[in-house]
A and B are shown apart, each in its own frame.
Chain A
Amino acid sequence: MIKFENVSKSFGDIKAIDNVNFEIADGEFVFISGPSGAGKTTLLHLLLGEYHPSAGEVIFDETKVSQIPKKELPFFRRKIGVVFQDYRLLPERTVRENVEVALAVAGVSEEEWVKRADQVLKLVGILDRAQLFPSQLSGGEAQRVSLARALVTNPRVIFADEPTGNLDWETADAIMDLFHEINKEGKTVIIASHHKAIIDKMDKRVIELKKGELVHDSGHGKHKKR
């Protein structure tokens, strides 16, 4: 379970997050929506323990994220798979190597890499591109690789930051289908997005931020079937 409890985060005089409260249960599919600068990405950084809240607490499975010792943070971060708007792929490594690097980071033995990488690459529909470099991929394909890398270590939570921001409608829709499939397998999926049409189409719980404040939460357990 993820809980933001009276969380505020300021950068100098600028309040990026202002007294935000919400809970996300295991297995939920949640959109965090809002315009650019609303504080969506700051929430991700707070959840990953990159930023410490100026006030309040971010709690992950009863653990206060801000109190996790620096040495333990890498192990905590492995519980959360992150998908970025700009994909953040390693440009000098192939698709397969980009996925395998997550396995290496997680300390998975090398013998398992091929099998596990194949599994997720197949799941995201990009196994035939395994030997290509990121520069040889389309935006949609790169985003699939980013998703495959986030999934390969089997984290409990997937946090995607504007995963469809750089994609056309059709590709974005296909990526959303993937997130839906992943969620059906029991993973918690949190998507930060300002893509209203996608959010409306998915019809999932929406936490809406505006200028750092939580302005609307459609509530727990109100997932609707697509």
Chain B
Amino acid sequence: MHLKTALSYIRRSPFQAMAAVSVLSLTFFIATLLAVLIYASNQVLVHFETRPQVIAFLKDEATTEQITNLQRKLSGDERVGDISFVTKEEAFTIYKDATSDNPLLAELVSPSIFPASLEFSLKDLQYARQVVEEIKQEAIVESVGFTASIGGEDNLNDVVENLKTATLYIRIGGISLVAILTGASFLVLMVVIGLRITTRKNEIEILDLLGATGGFIRAPVVLEAIVYSIIGTLIGWIVALILLLYATPSIIGYFSPIPILPKNSLDFFLLLGLIFLAELIVGVLIALGGSLIAVSRARR
């Protein structure tokens, strides 16, 4: 019965309803995009944090036994993550792949000029300098390097630090923007519900005299706000989803091989589904808060 009453209130004031739904839709549209952006920036960070970061180039005279011993030593080191041994032939293959657009470059060299290496990641980049210094002291190690050098940074540590800073800014900026929009939505909802209560003041007085409880009077108003929130969330989310579905293939292609967005449809919809669920909860909380404050102010 309360839902029926709430829906009839919405029908009677379509422009107020449209104002509330528009603001909520905009909020949740931007919130969805920002949530995906925060997820993507996190994926970039994870990608660089977990890829092999240190390469210990081995001397040509290093024996298999010495290499195995060093590999075992690194495996026992708690600071070190995954380790892999790259032979001279594998290094040559990597070189060939990297220069595939100019096959002449590969023809000019032989596998023997490439050093074998041990590639490994670190569990935390703060250990990088320490581990690199230690590994340099190993007799079979010729030199030590980092795998990445994006944007001219000297080492991966700088890359990751820059990414962490960027991710932090995205998070702070995104959360601030969503907080401002959420606040605006909250106020708009409060004003719309406040207007509705003002026009219903006579009805509320009558219901009061008939012996209606506070809950009975509040229920249609709160339900009306919840309906606005659900519709607003749904519209904002659907528009953002359509935009993402359209742009995702290009984004994935552009950032390949970094898995910036899930390639698998199921994972993609799971991510978006979780975002929708979180937005729905926030939306209902905004509706509850806004409408209850508006009702309590009106009945004071």
A residues at B contact (CB < 8 Å): 48, 50, 71, 74-78, 82, 88, 90, 92, 101-102, 104-106, 110, 149
Contact = CB atoms under 8 A, between A and B. Distances in A.
Contact of B211 (A71, A90, A105): A105
Contacts of A106: 211
B210 to A, nearest CB: 5
A77 B209 contact: yes
Interface of B: 1, 8, 12, 202-203, 205-214, 216
11 contacts: A50-B209, A74-B214, A75-B211, A82-B209, A104-B1, A104-B216, A105-B207, A105-B210, A105-B211, A105-B212, A149-B210
A149 B203 CA distance: 14
B209 A101 contact: no
A105 B8 CA distance: 18
Nearest to A110: B1
B288 to A, nearest CB: 20
A77 B207 CA distance: 11
A66 B202 CA distance: 24
A90 B203 contact: yes
A104 B216 CA distance: 9
A105 B219 CA distance: 12
A1 B208 CA distance: 23
Chain A CB within 10 Å, residue with most, of B208, B209, B210, B214: B210
Contacts of A88: 202, 205-206, 209
B interface SS class? helix
B1 A77 contact: no
Given A77-B211, A105-B216, A90 B1 contact: no
A71 B214 CA distance: 8
A48 to B, nearest CB: 7
A187 B210 CA distance: 17
A122 B203 CA distance: 25
A71 B211 CA distance: 11
A63 B26 CA distance: 54
B205 to A, nearest CB: 8
A82 B216 CA distance: 19
Given A74-B216, A101-B207, 13 more contacts: A48-B209, A50-B209, A74-B212, A75-B211, A77-B211, A78-B210, A82-B210, A88-B206, A88-B209, A90-B203, A104-B1, A105-B216, A110-B1
